[in-house]
Amino acid sequence: MSECTHDCSTCGESCSEREQQDFSAKLNPEASVKKVIAVVSGKGGVGKSLVTSLLASEMQRRGYQTAVLDADITGPSIPKAFGIHEHARGTEDALIPVYSVKGTQIMSVNLILENDTDPVVWRGPVIAGVVTQFWSDVLWNNVDYMFVDMPPGTGDVPLTVFQSLPVDGIIIVTSPQELVSMIVSKAVNMANMMNIPVLGIVENMSYFKCPDCGKKHEIFGESKVEKVAAQFGVEHYARLPIDPAVAAMVDAGEVESVGTEELNGLVDYIEKGV
């Protein structure tokens, strides 16, 4: 291509020159990760980190060793959801992930900053490099399922993760709004460009269930997840309600105690099909 800059790390095009290059990052020789699932969203504020935490917690409850790689470097929230306040330790050669109360292994930039309120004011290539290091330099211990909490959108970090990590599939998180189809299509198209399957779509804040009468109220509009899933040929989807009790538990660092009944079908599929 005449406009090619020959810098494939900033390009999403599929061409013969790209196919000759390998951007995959090597896992630490003493680490082990079997399956990698990226949790993505087309925009922020839809509950992507919540879904990541719930999926990891449910898999851990089912007897698997899970891990969360927090790739949302500028907006990390995974440690708080799991109630982790300690710093990650390290050896001369590697970082040691921090374990949650129930045993999920976690690595996040907030675990290596002096204060968890310190802003991360880094440029894109530096941020992407940190994500790669979280894969290569961390001693992940016999992980069955790693969930990667991605930043929203389709920028540097998602591209780095898809190119550098052996991603087995993605989960798309969205909300019930008219723009949802366009936003989901961006994530689906990026996954298709990288030849990564879409495992499912989760519609968060889908409805509110009245605690008095039990009626479901679709506060943000009619659910569109079934229609959108069919549009893109995605067989598995889930709807998560607005639940103030869940929000309170996550704020208190108790996400591992949140029930995940609405996600069970999707988790079953991941367990059997990935």
Give residue 14's pLDDT.
Answer: 65
**Hey, what domains does the chain have and what are their CATH numbers?**
25-273 (3.40.50.300)
Centre a 10 Å sphere on the Cβ of residue 9 and count the other Cβ atoms it contains: 14
User: Which are the contacts of 99, defined by CB distance < 8 A and separation ≥ 6?
Assistant: 105, 106
Give residue 115's pLDDT.
Answer: 80
Helix (H) or strand (E) holding 239: strand 237-239
SS (H, E, C) 116-130: CCCCCCCCHHHHHHH
* Residues 245-264, mean pLDDT to the nearest whole number: 95
Tens-place pLDDT, residues 193-234: 999 999 999 999 999 988 888 899 999 888 888 988 998 899
Six token digits for residue 226: 């079934």
* Residues 39-55, mean pLDDT to the nearest whole number: 92
Tens-place pLDDT, residues 105-139: 999 999 998 887 888 888 888 988 999 999 999 99
Q: Is 248 a residue whose pLDDT tops 60?
A: yes
Give residue 158's pLDDT.
Answer: 87
Spatial separation of the C-alpha atoms in residues 274 and 264, rounded to whole Å: 15
Task: Please state whether beta strands 198-203 and 237-239 pair in parallel, antiparallel, or not at all (unpaired).
Answer: parallel
Assign 66 a pLDDT band (cuts: 50, 70, 90): very high
Give residue 265's pLDDT.
Answer: 94
Tens-place pLDDT, residues 166-200: 999 999 999 887 567 788 888 888 899 999 999 99
Q: Is 45 a residue whose pLDDT tops 60?
A: yes
Angle at which helices 244-251 and 48-61 cross, to 10°? 80
